[in-house]
Amino acid sequence: MISVDALAPVRRRRRRIFPRTGNAALTVGAPIVLFLLLALVWQWAASTFKSVLPPIQNIVTDIVGRPDFYLSNLGVTVGSAMAGFAIGISVALVLGAAVVHFRFLRAAIMPLALLLNVTPIVAISPALVVAFGFNDIPHILVAALTAFFPMLINSITGLRAVDPQALEVFDAMAASRWEIFSRLRVPSSLPYLFAGARLSVAAAMIGAIVSEFTGSSKGIGAVIVTATTYLNLSQMWGAIFFSAITSLILLGLVGLAERLTVRW
């Protein structure tokens, strides 16, 4: 007897940020060509509007000339961002799990969380500096606040995104609430949690930098403020360059963690 269905196994395709064209020259070449074109436009703009953009070689010279200056300030910002990220997503995960299980908590928490989300963090930051003084705490808290919301929404969505028929299988065996949570809801939610973590890690970096605009003498935010004060365009763009690269690396790390955890 031939078993008809046992032929070719199927493989689901992963979503990719970078498209696979099947042509290495195209995948690597196309962005490089575009990048070089943009660099040319930049150089033209820098020579025409001298007070708007610095020439690229000036930025490079500044970065290469004092890497310690940039890296030590970057370290401060990343430290606040990561501490805030850890706090923000931890609170979001706990609240997300609670909200999914208790309807009154959902009713109580969601309006407040939404209010928090629409409140501009730039407005909260000075208030926190007044409250906690000139140290890392206000910056960590702002990073935590910005990281919190995307993770909360994604954890709630994820914990509810359970295959209803798998839930029937669990219910027919009289699975306990804890078994349904740990063996069904949490694993089902992992892709959503990582999507949330990607948004949160980028948000935490932004939160940390913005909060350093006030009440800080260290960190990438403070470097940008100083550069503004002295109209030091090279330093300003050097700082922007470092924060963009760092966010990219952090996103890559979350993506790596996802690849190691979510293997389906």
Partner 1 sequence: MTDTTTATTTTTIELSDVGRTYTRGKKEVRALTGVDLTIKQGEFITLFGPSGCGKSTLLRLIAGLDTQTTGEISVFGSTPKEASARKDIAWIPQSSALLPWLDITANASLSNVINTKADRSGATTRRPEDAGDLLGEIGLADFRESRPDQLSGGMRQRASIARGFAQGAPLMLMDEPFSALDELTRDTLRIRLLELWDRHKKTIVFVTHSAQEAVLLSDRVVVMSPRPGRIREVVDIDFPRPRTWELAETTEFVAKVAEVKQILWSAWEGDE
Q: Is the CB of 37 or the CB of 171 nearer to partner 1? A: 171
Total residues found in the chain within this entry: 264
Q: What are phi and psi of 262, to 5 degrees?
A: -90, 100
Kindly determine how many residues on this chain lie close enough to bind partner 1 according to the rule CB under 8 A: 31
Residue selected from 20, 165, 177, 230 as contacting partner 1 according to rule CB under 8 A: 165
Q: What are phi and psi of 119, to 5 degrees?
A: -75, 125
| Smallest distance, partner 1 to C-beta of residue 223, A | 44
The answer to whether 169 contacts partner 1 (rule: CB under 8 A) is yes
Residue selected from 55, 79, 187, 255 as contacting partner 1 according to rule CB under 8 A: 187
The answer to whether 161 contacts partner 1 (rule: CB under 8 A) is no
How does DSSP assign 134-153, residue by residue?
SSSHHHHHHHHHHHHHHHHH
| Smallest distance, partner 1 to C-beta of residue 163, A | 6
What span, in angstroms and rounded, lies between the C-alpha atoms of 140 and 146? Answer: 10
What span, in angstroms and rounded, lies between the C-alpha atoms of 177 and 75? Answer: 43
Tell me the CB-side half-sphere exposure of residue 65, using CA atoms within 13 A.
Answer: 9
Q: How far is CA 160 from the centre of its chain?
A: 23
Of 71-79, 113-121, 174-182, 241-249, the window that binds partner 1 (rule: CB under 8 A) is 174-182
The answer to whether 171 contacts partner 1 (rule: CB under 8 A) is yes
The answer to whether 204 and 147 have CB atoms below 8 angstroms apart is yes
Residue selected from 52, 112, 123, 172 as contacting partner 1 according to rule CB under 8 A: 172
Of 90-98, 207-215, 228-236, 256-264, the window that binds partner 1 (rule: CB under 8 A) is 256-264
The answer to whether 158 and 190 have CB atoms below 8 angstroms apart is yes
Of 1-9, 31-39, 194-202, 233-241, the window that binds partner 1 (rule: CB under 8 A) is 1-9
What separation, in Å, do the N-terminal and C-terminal C-alpha atoms of the chain show?
31
The answer to whether 3 contacts partner 1 (rule: CB under 8 A) is yes
Q: Residue 246 is which amino acid?
A: T
x-or-dash string of contact with partner 1, 7-26, rule CB under 8 A: xxxxxx--------------
Residue selected from 31, 45, 179, 259 as contacting partner 1 according to rule CB under 8 A: 179
The answer to whether 208 and 77 have CB atoms below 8 angstroms apart is yes
The answer to whether 5 contacts partner 1 (rule: CB under 8 A) is yes
Q: Is the CB of 8 or the CB of 36 nearer to partner 1? A: 8
| Smallest distance, partner 1 to C-beta of residue 17, A | 21
The answer to whether 148 and 91 have CB atoms below 8 angstroms apart is yes
Q: Please give the residue ranges that form the binding site for partner 1 (CB under 8 A).
A: 1, 3-12, 163, 165-166, 168-176, 179, 183-184, 187, 190, 262-264
